[in-house]
Amino acid sequence: MSYNIQVYTVQTMMAEIEAESEDFFDNDKNLIPFTEKQLIKLRENILKHNFEIAKEDKKGVTFKNDQFEGMKAILTSNALYLRSSYDDSFEIGMIASELTDSDEFAKYDPQADGWEVLGE
């Protein structure tokens, strides 16, 4: 069983909340792309968390973390997808929370009913 968390722009979070649509994430046009600066920042931060680049192509960058079996991250132009085994869900949750400490990014955890709101 795997655990999945996504990181989006704050603008995507606001659009999803306003849309009140259960299929919001099914349409990539709803996702507000990262700026080039944000992509670089996310990439650098993922690498600081012991991830290595496994594959890079026009769709994005796939990272792996050999310290945890099955842990990987995929960075696309409009989202960062983190996946781990359920046993390692705490680690990816903490990584995603650290990435969203600023007002640029928002953490979406579908297993915990959605957006992480700071201060809760």
Tokens 């099955």 belong to 70
Residue at 84: amino acid letter: S
Residues 6+ apart with CB under 8 A from 71: 64, 65, 82, 83, 84, 85, 88, 91, 92
Domain 2-113: give its CATH superfamily: TATA-Binding Protein (3.30.310.10)
The percentage of residues in the chain with a pLDDT greater than 90, rounded to a whole number, is 63
Count the neighbouring beta carbons within 10 Å of the beta carbon of residue 68. Answer: 16
Torsion angles phi and psi, residue 114, rounded to 5: 115, -140
Is the model's pLDDT at 17 over the cut of 80? yes
Over residues 50-72, the pLDDT tens digits come to 899 999 999 999 999 988 878 99
